[in-house]
Amino acid sequence: MHALRAAVTATARFALTAALALAATTPAPAPAADAPPVASAAVPIAFGETFTIESRILHETRRINVYRAPAWDESTNAKRPLLVMPDGGTAEDFPHVAGLLQVSIGNGSVRPVLLVGIENTERRRDLTGPTSNANDRRIAARVGGSAAFRDFIRDELLPVVAARYPVTDERAIVGESLAGLFVVETFLREPSLFDTYLAFDPSLWWADSALVAAPLPKPDAGARAKSLFLASSSEPALARLTARFAARLEHEAPPSIRWWYEPMPAETHATIYHPAAIRAFRRALGPTP
C-alpha cells in the first residue's frame, strides 16, 4: 500500500512538473483583434496640498488649499511671497488660478508665489461688511462678517502658513465679485495686511456703495508701497461703480499707491476672472517686484 501511494504521488508530481514546463514554453494566446487594450486602474491626479484650521475666531473648521507652481531655476526651499485667495476651494476658483500660475510662473511672466486658497463655508457672511440696506440683508441668513474673516486671515491663517511653508513677508490677495468687495474693503480698512490687492468686478454696490466714497489709505512712512489692480466686465452697475472708484484714485491716490484699472467690456461677470487674473498677475506680480 505504501509503495502504491508513493508511486501515485510520484506520478502526480511528474504530471505537475510537466504541465508547468509546458506552460512556460507555450506562448499565451493572442488577444482577439477587437478586444480592448489592457489598462490599469484609474487613480486620482493630485496637485498641491490641503489642510484644515480649527478657527477660534470663526468658531468652525476652515479648509486651506495650497499650491506651489514649479519654477525651473528655484530651489525647493526658496521663500516665496503669498497670494491669498478667498473662493479658494477645489470646487471654486482654486484649480483654474493654480493652473494659470503654473503656466505663468513656468514661462517667467509672473514671479514665483505660493497660492493659498480659503475654501468657503458661509461666503456671503465672510466677504461682506456691515450694511443697513434691507436688500443686502436678504442675500443670506448672515452677512456682515468681513471684519471677523479678516481677523481669521491675519491672526490664524497667515501664522499657520508661515510656520508650514518657506515664505517672505510680501503678501497679495485676489478676488472677484463679493471676494473683490472684500479685497477693496481690506485695502481701505487695513491696508497693511497685504502689499498687493487684485479685485475683479468687485461688488461695490454693497452697503449703498459706501466703499466707493471711503477714505483712501494714508501714506505710511517706512511701509512698502501698495499695489491695487481693478478690472470690470460688461455688467453695467459693476463697471460704473468700479470706474467711479478708479476716478477717485486718479485724483486722490498718493504716490505710495501704485494702481491700475482695466475695463474689460468683452467679458461678462461670469467670464472675467481668468482673463483679468492674467493681466493682474503680469502687471502686479511680474518678474520684477
Task: Report pLDDT for 46.
Answer: 82
Backbone angles phi, psi at 164, to 5 degrees: -95, -30
Residue 32 lies in a domain: no
Quote the CA–CA distance of 109 and 139 in Å, as a whole number: 39
**pLDDT given for residue 196 in this prediction:** 97
Alpha-carbon distance values, 131 to 138, 153, 175 (Å)? 11, 22, 20
**First CA to last CA across the chain, in angstroms?**
94
Give the mean model confidence (pLDDT) for residues 166-192.
Answer: 97
Does residue 133 lie in a domain region?
yes
Q: What is the number of domains present in the chain? A: 1
Query: Tell me, what CATH number does 153's domain have?
Result: 3.40.50.1820
Decide: pTM greater than 0.75: yes
List pLDDT tens digits, range 224-247: 889 999 999 999 999 999 999 999
Asked whether 200 and 213 are in contact (CB, 8 A), the reply is: no
Q: Which domain holds residue 229?
A: 49-216+223-284
Q: Residue 105's pLDDT is what?
A: 95
Rounded to 10°, the helix 94-106/273-284 angle is 40
Asked if the structure places residue 107 within a domain, the reply is yes
On the question of pLDDT at 3 being above 50, the answer is no
Is 18 contained in some domain?
A: no
Hey, what's the cell of 112? Answer: 514665483
Of residues 149 and 3, the one with the higher pLDDT is 149
Contact criterion met (CB below 8 Å) for 165 and 76: no
Residue with cell 491700475: 260
Ranges assigned E (strand) in the chain: 49-55, 60-68, 80-86, 114-118, 167-176, 196-200, 226-232, 257-263
Q: Would 104 be classed as within a structural domain?
A: yes
Give the H or E element holding residue 208: helix 206-209
> Do the beta carbons of residue 167 and residue 161 sit within 8 Å?
yes
Q: Is residue 17 part of a domain?
A: no
Q: CA 99, CA 83: separation in Å to the nearest integer? A: 14
